[in-house]
Amino acid sequence: MGKEVNGVSRSRFEMFTNSDEAVINKKLPKELLLRIFSFLDVVTLCRCAQVSRSWNVLALDGSNWQRIDLFDFQRDIEGRVVENISKRCGGFLRKLSLRGCLGVGDSALRTFSQNCRNIELLSLNGCTKITDSTCNSLSKFCPKLKHLDLASCTSITNLSLKALSEGCPLLEQLNISWCDQVTKDGIQALVRSCPGLKGLFLKGCTQLEDEALKHIGAHCPELVTLNLQTCSQITDEGLITICRGCHRLQSLCVSGCANITDAILHALGQNCPRLRILEVARCSQLTDVGFTTLARNCHELEKMDLEECVQITDGTLIQLSIHCPRLQVLSLSHCELITDDGIRHLGSGPCAHDRLEVIELDNCPLITDASLEHLKSCHSLDRIELYDCQQITRAGIKRLRTHLPNIKVHAYFAPITPPPSVGGSRQRFCRCCVLL
């Protein structure tokens, strides 16, 4: 093949002949045209490929296909499309998202792995046809893989994690949410060979127990994000190991892990000062004591989901208002002991004026319009949830909007129940039924 110019061989440039009368093709060097094409998305490139023979060559050049996301383009593609893309892109391709492409299976991904050996980011989220065979292919041909999303690929087992541990040592982020066949054996193999893991998403991996968490804590010192939502078998024992071994942790989700107690909040406060996101919804054993320790030590907290932490009171809000000036999102839905006084402290805290963006107070029966008055100085407040807050009124919301005109207020007011008819028993049928 002839000498390459910016990734396009001379033989390709020879296809631009004087017979192509388009002004742009005559005025601009082909190298510059190729550079322009590199900024186009998948749909636009495909359209440009149909304009002329010369544009077809430019649009389909592999250097323009380094990042491909088919989610917003077409999700019902067949495996042959992936195979064709891989043959066109070859070593150029770095990032590919096939999220939601239900028709893509192991065979197509084997061809892809063989052709695109420089892939770094691959999303197969929701590609339910794939099995451990795909991970074997990735392990064999794609040693540069850093980010892999296998969420909802329910046929994935421990064999996939063992294969990835053998062939993809640079792996930094792995999402195997809802891959409920994975156990501690797969996690152990993975973390021992991929010490650079920074993000692990294990939501819905219901077979995981504390033993799996102990392996993570022992081998993943770089871990920043961990999602264990609905991993209902884990307890304080495993999570404390995570806290002690992963001091760089910034985001932890253990929502739905009902066995955990304040011991976790103490461990986070003592070991993970960089924590920014904590999701502990439906962890009903957590109390003000644990959140006091957390708030006093984790000053970078930005998002907290405390929904259905039914034991917390205004004491938690007081501590957050004092010690967490960066708080942006706070969910207190179904925290039935929260009162206007807690919201008053929050509304006067350092996070209130410039940081607080979202507060959720659904099903907080003690909250009244007074809370809305306390929040009117929160100039960054973008959304407030007030479903089933029985003491909140339309008038209170209207007053809040005079101070925060752009705020989104989500509330529900049940229709007034008509009084029972006076004198005599109630009709068996309504008037409509009588007419019918």
Q: Which value, in Å, is the radius of gyration of the alpha carbons in the chain? A: 28
Q: What pLDDT is attached to residue 289?
A: 98
- Pair 297, 322: CB distance under 8 Å: no
| Statement: residue 423 has pLDDT above 60 | no
Q: What pLDDT is attached to residue 420?
A: 59
For 301-351, how does the pLDDT look when each residue is reduced to its tens digit (9 = 90+)? 999 999 999 999 999 999 999 999 999 999 999 999 999 999 999 999 999
For 7-38, how does the pLDDT look when each residue is reduced to its tens digit (9 = 90+)? 444 444 444 444 455 666 666 777 887 788 77
Select, from the ranges 36-45, 88-97, 157-166, the one with the highest average predicted confidence (pLDDT).
Answer: 157-166
Place of tokens 């999402």: 175
| Statement: residue 357 has pLDDT above 90 | yes
**Which SS3 state, helix, strand or coil, does residue 96 take?**
strand
Residues 6+ apart with CB under 8 A from 74: none
DSSP 368: B
pLDDT class of 352 with cuts at 50, 70, 90 = confident
Distance, CA of 146 to CA of 171 (rounded, Å)? 4
Mean local confidence (pLDDT), 65-69: 83
Instruction: Please name which of 300, 185, 182, 200 lies closest in space to residue 245, comparing C-alpha atoms.
Output: 200
Distance, CA of 123 to CA of 406 (rounded, Å)? 36
pLDDT class of 6 with cuts at 50, 70, 90 = very low
Distance, CA of 53 to CA of 40 (rounded, Å)? 18
Structural domains of the chain sorted by starting position, each given as residue range(s) with its CATH number in brackets = 24-64 (1.20.1280), 268-413 (3.80.10.10)
| Statement: residue 136 has pLDDT above 50 | yes
Which comes out higher in pLDDT, residue 305 or 52? 305
Q: How far is CA 113 from the centre of its chain?
A: 26
- Pair 302, 326: CB distance under 8 Å: yes
Which comes out higher in pLDDT, residue 430 or 290? 290
Which alpha helices (DSSP H) does 93-157 contain, by range?
A: 106-115, 132-141
| Statement: residue 3 has pLDDT above 80 | no
**Which SS3 state, helix, strand or coil, does residue 358 take?**
strand
**Average pLDDT of the residues of the chain:** 89
Distance, CA of 66 to CA of 90 (rounded, Å)? 9
Q: What pLDDT is attached to residue 431?
A: 47
Q: Would strands 329-331 and 358-360 be described as parallel, antiparallel, or unpaired? A: parallel
Alpha-carbon separation of residue 401 from 100, 331, 376, 391, 409 (angstroms): 40, 21, 8, 18, 9
State what percent of residues in the chain have pLDDT above 90.
73
